Structure 1
Amino acid sequence: MFYTYILASQRNGTLYTGSTDDLAKRVFEHKEKARAGFTAKYGVDKLVWFEAFEERENAFRRERRIKEWRRAWKLRLIEETNTDWRDLYDDLNNLLSY
């Protein structure tokens, strides 16, 4: 599986969109600030939305599309499935075992 995901610093805070083939590992890296960069600098480490894809190219294409969106559209996307802006990382194993 491949994933497109959105991280936030807090509710309505700074957002980051990415894609990966190992969502749990990648979010953990963001949380631990394992790589220097945008998310480490701005404390963006709460997984607030993600979508699964069978093919890497589809996940990457979705990431690029979302990155072009207006902020309001991204907020709406998050709130469609995560109205409380809960950090989904804590429940990731349960959520991925569908």
Structure 2
Amino acid sequence: MVLDSIVSSPMRRSQSLRKQRDELGSWSALAQRHRFLLTALVLLAFLCTIYLYFAITLGAAGSCSRLTGTQRAVCQLERAKASVSEGKLKFA
């Protein structure tokens, strides 16, 4: 009797572990449970990509871009001083 319980015990443990793994589910079950969160994450990533594209594209075309030489340097210096005084940090 004791010998039977020792022999069958590891089998029961492996079955219970397998059952727990099945209850947790596969990747498809996990995706179905969290479909709303995954959709929101994809939408957020898409919107952030669009925002960054326009921020970089439109931010690069400043008022100093058409100037050349000394005028451009003076313009950029004035813009840097204005942004520091306003508390903004600019990388241009």
- TM class by smaller structure: under 0.3
**TM-score normalised by structure 2 residue count:** 0.24
- TM-score, structure 1 length as denominator? 0.23
Structure index of larger Rg: 2
Between Structure 1 and Structure 2, the one with more strand by share is 1
